[in-house]
Amino acid sequence: MSEQVCLENKGHGGQAEEDRSLVIKTRFFLPPHVDALMPGLMLTAAISALALHTGAKLTYVTPLIGAMGIGMLLRNAFIVPPAYKAGIFFSMRQILRFAVALLGIRITFDKIIGLGWEGLAIALVPLFLTMVFTVLLGRLLKVSQASSLLIGTGTSICGASAILTAGAITRSKDEDIIVAISSITVFGTISMLSYPFIFKSGFLPLTEIQYGQWAGASIHEVAQVVTAAFGGGERSGEIGILIKLTRVATLIPVALILSYLVNRGVIKHGDAYEEKSITFPFFLLGFITMVVLNSLQFFTPRAVKWIEFFDMFLLTMAMAGMGLETDFRQLMKVGYRPLFLSIFATGFITFTSLILIVCL
C-alpha cells in the first residue's frame, strides 16, 4: 500500500513549484532495499510460472529454456523499464545461488555408490576428458577462456545449471553465459531427439542398460536426459537419470577447483561484478549439506518432491532473468567460434562415452 502526498501552494511563486515536485511515498510492509527488488522479482517469477506451465504441456521445451526464451523475447521486443533491473539482477545472482544449493536434494551417496566402478567410470571419464578437450580446443579456436570454461562445464556436467554456477564463480560476462547456454541447449536438444531414434532403429547394437548409460553420460540437461533415456524403456530411463545425477554431483568439486583457480589468478574472472575480492562460493556448502541430509533420509518423500519443484521454480527465475538481460545485438558480436566449439564438445562427449560403454 502506498500513500502519495502532493503539496501545492499557488500563491508563493517558486515555492509552489518546489511543493508540486515534493512527493512522499511510504511503504508499510517492505524496507526500501527490498521494495526496489519487487518489480523485477515479480516479472521473473511470472515468467517462471508461465514457463513451468508451458514445459508441462510441451515435450521438448524444458522450463529452463522456455523461461530464457520468454525473457529474450520481452527484452528484445520491448524496453524493460529501469525499475525492473535490480530484481532481474537479483534473480540472476542471489536466487541462482540458493537454487544451486537446493540441487543437492536430487542426489544421495547410496545412489552414486550403487553404480559400481563401471558406472562411475562411464559418468566421470567422458566428463573429465570433455572438460580438458573443450578448454584446449577453445585456445586453438581463439575462444575466450571464460566461454571455453562455460561451454566445457555445460557440456560435461549439467547444462544450464553448471554454466550458471561456473559463471557465478568466475564472474563471467552475461554475453559469455548466454552464448554458452544457447549453444549447449541447441545441441543438447538435438541429442535428446536423435538418441531414441538411433536406439530404436537398431543402428547401434546397444542393450537397454547401455543405451541408458549413453544418454546419461553424454546429454547436457537433466530434463533432456529424462526425455531421451526413457525413450529406450523404463530400465534405461532409471540408469540414465542415475548416471546423469552422478555427473551433476561433480559440480561440487569442479566448482571448488574453479574457485581456487580464480583466487590464485590462474583463471581470470570476467569483471561482471564491481567487487575486487573474490569470495568462496558458500552456496556450494549448501549443495553438499542437501546431499548429506538427503542421504540420511532427513526429508520425507513429499518434502523432497516439493523442494525439487521449488528449486526448479528458482532456477527458472534465474533463467528468466538471464533472458531479460540478453541483447541480440550484443550476441551478434560474439562470432561463430563459440558455436563451433560447442559442436565439437558435444560430438566429443557423445563418441567418447559411447566407446567407453561398448568397451566396458
Cell 517462471 belongs to residue: 48
As a 3-state breakdown, the chain gives helix, strand, coil percent values, each rounded to 5, of: 75, 5, 20
Backbone angles phi, psi at 26, to 5 degrees: -120, 135
| pLDDT grade for 293, boundaries at 50, 70 and 90 | very high
pLDDT of residue 22: 36
Angle among Cα 308, 88, 182 to the nearest 5 degrees reads 70
Cα 53 from Cα 63, distance rounded (Å): 8
* Count of all residues that appear for the chain in the document: 360
pLDDT tens digits for range 58-87: 655 667 777 878 888 888 887 788 888 889
23: helix, coil or strand? strand
Mean pLDDT is lowest, of 65-74, 221-230, 278-287, 333-342, for 278-287
pLDDT exceeds 80 at position 222: no
Return the closest-CA partner of residue 250 out of 144, 168, 151, 154.
154
CA neighbor of 51 nearest in space, from 42, 38, 61, 41: 61
pLDDT at 35 > cutoff 50: yes
Q: What percent of the chain has pLDDT over 90?
A: 21
Cell 561398448 found at: 358
**Bridge-partner residues for 4, per DSSP?**
25
Amino acid, res. 203: F
